[in-house]
Structure 1
Amino acid sequence: MDSLRKRLQRELEQQPDIQIQQSDSWGLPVELINIPFTTIKRTTMDILMKMILLTVQKLDVSESKIIAEFLAVEPLFIEDLFNKMEAAQMIELRKESFELTSIGVRQLQSGVYEHPPEKAEKKFYYSACHDSILCEQPEKIFTAKVKEFRLARKFTRSAQRLDDEQLRATLLATGAEAAEGPLQKVMDKIETPRTLDNQLIPCVEFYVYNRAENNYFTRVWNTLTEEWDERLEKLIDEQAPTRK
């Protein structure tokens, strides 16, 4: 922690009008959270799948081999696609024959096959002081034994109260959706975040005097985001400066 503080101090003092008055180290409380969600892959529907759906739509089909015989296609190919479409809720057995569901009709009309949803999850760090998710969980984080941030107890909101829009924006920013050629992967459902751990992230605070402008202000280095944290600086200057 001392080596980090010295490096940051040298960086600040390279500015000719800056004079460091005081410095401090403390821990920013964060929640390590897990966001479960599901994704759906969309691909252009192939000819055989379209033919199967059209056959189901027009004929009484009680099993896949009937379609194989009608289309003169190897039964194994039909059975595999038939099972996929049933799992994707595109077709369903009603009474004694299969029929297209509303999902099957929609996909047939659009010509786009939606694969069954797949489960996924991502881990992030949420800060109540920022009321936002700071970043995806990195491979390593800076650790040190530090006291808690003096303003931390004023901010108690949990990540579980984040709305879908905030969660979606966070997941999108970390590549939860993708597109490559005819394949699209889109998010379907986002579940409530689950807290895995509570941690204190070391931060380094400097109380600084600018001789040219004759004013004091705070700089805070956040070791999780590895940058100067304007939100924490503003909180401190407004509510709890080191000195006035």
Structure 2
Amino acid sequence: MKALEKRLKREVLQNGKVEILKTSIWCVPVQSIDVTYQPVKRLKMDILMKMMLLTFQQAEISNASELGELLLVEDLFIQDLLINLTKTGLIERGEKYYHLTSKGKIQLENGVFEEEQEIETQQLLYSACHEAFLPAEIDQMDEYDELPDLFRYALEEPEETLKFVEEELIEVLQNSRTSEDEGEEQTVITDILSKEARQINDVPCLEYILYNREQDLLFVRVWNTLLSQWDDKLEKLLVEKEVVMWREEYLKV
């Protein structure tokens, strides 16, 4: 921490006309939330899949051989795709023939094939002080022997963090995923299966109240150790609440 403080002090004083009026360190509470969800792989239907679904919709087909003869496609290709279409619920077999399910009809109409992937769980970090999820992982944060006091504008009793609407969680999860999409294939999140609040983590932040005498400008810089960057959200909050007080206290105006 001492090395970080030294580096940050050097950075905020790069402009020789700026001076530090006060330095302090405090913690922002960050709530970790485990969210379990169902990702779905989406890709544009290929010609063979469309032809098979259309055939099941219009004709009475009982096995892969019949379909292969009708479409002039080898049974091997038909059989593999038949298994996949059945597994994903686009078709099902009745007493004698295959037919499209309602899910199959919708996907055929849209021309997009959807396949559910393995269920995943991801930890999100929510900060009430930021009123937002933070783009970080808690294991990114360094360990500290002793944590400073809580941020003066942090809620003593944080609001219930499980009231987020599903659409908000889906958007955060989708944005946080590493993009592995190629071409017309993409993986999307369609359903939140569960969400569970875990521990509240205290994230140290370093605050520098600064004054530029040439411009008669009071401002603040706040370094967020979890994000490893200057935190403009907290800086804006402090300026809105305290800039008048700073002028009265430090400049005696």
Q: TM-score range by the shorter chain?
A: 0.7 to 0.9
1:173-192 CA distances to partner (integer Å, 9 max, x unpaired)?
33466542232323322355
Partner SS state of residue 36, structure 2: strand
1:46 Cα deviation after fit: 3.5
- Where do 5+ consecutive residues of structure 2 fail to align? none
Asked if 1:221 is matched to 2:227, the reply is: no
Partner SS state of residue 115, structure 1: strand
User: How does 1:104-143 map onto structure 2 within 5 Å?
Assistant: 104-137=104-137, 140-143=140-143
Using the size of structure 2 for normalisation, the TM-score is 0.79
Distance 2:107 2:217 in 1: 64
User: 1:12 and 1:47, CA in 2 relative to 1: closer, same or farther beyond 3 A?
Assistant: closer
2:26 is matched with 26
Asked if 1 retains the 8 angstrom alpha-carbon contact of 2:65 and 2:75, the reply is yes
1:152 is matched with 154
- Where do 5+ consecutive residues of structure 1 fail to align? none
Asked if 2 retains the 8 angstrom alpha-carbon contact of 1:40 and 1:117, the reply is yes
Deviation larger for 199-208 or 87-96: 87-96
1:93 Cα deviation after fit: 3.7
The alignment-based identity, stated in percent, is 35
Asked if 1:52 is matched to 2:52, the reply is: yes
Distance 2:234 2:184 in 1: 44
- 1:128 alignment partner AA: A
Distance 1:176 1:106 in 2: 29
2:206 is matched with 204
Distance 1:177 1:99 in 2: 35
Distance 2:161 2:42 in 1: 31
Asked if 1 retains the 8 angstrom alpha-carbon contact of 2:28 and 2:203, the reply is yes
1:234 is matched with 236
1:116 Cα deviation after fit: 3.0
Distance 1:232 1:51 in 2: 57
Partner SS state of residue 161, structure 1: coil
Partner SS state of residue 54, structure 1: helix
CA-based RMSD of the aligned residues comes to: 3.0
User: How does 1:78-117 map onto structure 2 within 5 Å?
Assistant: 78-94=78-94, 96-117=96-117
Deviation larger for 147-156 or 171-180: 171-180
